[in-house]
Copies of this chain bind each other. A is one copy, B any other.
């Protein structure tokens, strides 16, 4: 089974998830937004299903896909220890820009 990280590596899959954030959608809606063929979208959906990131519900001929954000917690957990680090970096950058700004003002 592919890791959640690997699943998110594909931009089309992230795009699908982004759309599903607004609520469940039939496959056709997803195809419209993606500029890839319907079979390709179906394949991406299978990957997302296997990763537990979406679930399906049947509605007549259509299948409505819905987001299951649970596995994203794994990504967030990995990211957590880094979060404060880049915040610190940005702070440092801001301080430096601030210094430059003051130097410029005193010219």
Q: What is A's interface to B at a CB cutoff of 8 Å?
A: 3, 5-6, 8-9, 11, 14, 17, 21, 67-70, 72-73, 75-76, 78-79, 81-83, 85-86, 89-90
- Apart from A5-B8, A6-B9, A68-B89, what are 13 other A-B pairs with CB-CB below 8 Å? A3-B9, A5-B11, A8-B9, A9-B9, A17-B82, A70-B89, A72-B79, A72-B86, A73-B86, A75-B75, A75-B79, A76-B83, A79-B79
Contacts of A81 in B (CB 8 A): 21
Q: Which of B6, B69, B85, B90 has a CB less than 8 Å from the CB of A85?
A: B69
Instruction: Decide yes or no: A76 and B73 within 8 Å by CB, A5-B8, A9-B9, A67-B85 being known contacts.
Output: no
